[in-house]
Amino acid sequence: MAYPSAMTSLLHNPHLRLLNALRSNAKPIMTFLGLPSFRTAQIVAQTGVDGIIIDCEHGHISDDSMHSSTAAIASLGISPLVRLRMTHSDLVKRALDAGAHGIVVPQINTAEEAKAVVQCSKFPPQGSRGQGSAFPAITHGIDIPTYLKTANQTLITCLQIESKEGVQKVDEICAVDGVDMLFIGPNDLALSVLGYVPAKGDEPEFVDAIDRIVAAARKHGKWVGRLSNDGEASKEHLKVFDTVAMSYDIRGLQNWYVSELKVARS
């Protein structure tokens, strides 16, 4: 049985900035948050980004920090997403119960793995997600009964394709009902396809892998995004992709100091 998804549903919630921008093809821009500070989350949320991916895979983010950052970001009208460190159902539950507007799940290589993520991220009858948290209704700006009725159709389920196997099976992954978006991690993809990072960007194997991911997303009516290093790269990538995650809070902080120190010492 096919269910309405975040991409196909007509349900509208003005608090879901990223989802609404994707639906209107507004080319939203996100970024990654790796520092465990709700103050950092607030500061980044005030920059004009549409969504912030709280990085529980590679960032210095604990469960407490994830909860605090999710609330801080949503309170400023920006969409918090949580990148999990793996596909385990407990991690999906914690992120969604904290109030994330969506999840980003790394290293998805098969349709079976995609189905498992969807299963634990959706309330019955579509999935097996349990109910018990008051927090997600707050970050969605609605009451709990409304959240329970609408969550399956408004939460973004985003899967990362970043390996040879994932690329080979991307069509099957995209065909899974309940998958809303694919996201390309170019560094892990380059490591898997080329054996080194960073990719130069013009390697035939690397270009072909990205093209296959985008083509599968378009074929099955899914959104597709990727990491972009800076504004110029983001502008170029948005000609092809529905959204990008522009760099990282940690990299932004480092780059500012490196740049300004060069000026100060010149």
User: Model-level pTM?
Assistant: 0.96
In a domain, 36, yes or no: yes
Given a contact cutoff of 8 angstroms between Cβ atoms, the answer to whether 100 and 33 are in contact is no
Give residue 2's pLDDT: 80
Stretches in the chain below the pLDDT threshold 70: none
In a domain, 8, yes or no: no
**Which residues are identified as catalytic?**
58
Domain holding 52, by residue range, is: 17-265
- CB atoms closer than 10 angstroms to residue 253: 13
Tokens 């080329």, residue?
194
Following DSSP, what letter does each residue of 57-96 receive, concatenated?
A: TTSS--HHHHHHHHHHHHHTT-EEEEE-SS--HHHHHHHH
In a domain, 40, yes or no: yes
In a domain, 63, yes or no: yes
In a domain, 2, yes or no: no
In a domain, 5, yes or no: no
In a domain, 10, yes or no: no
Q: Write the CB contacts of 165 (distance below 8 Å, at least 6 apart in sequence).
A: 109, 110
Number of domains in the chain: 1
In a domain, 115, yes or no: yes
**Can you read off the two tokens belonging to residue 121?**
């991220």
Domain CATH code at residue 52: 3.20.20.60
Given a contact cutoff of 8 angstroms between Cβ atoms, the answer to whether 73 and 41 are in contact is yes
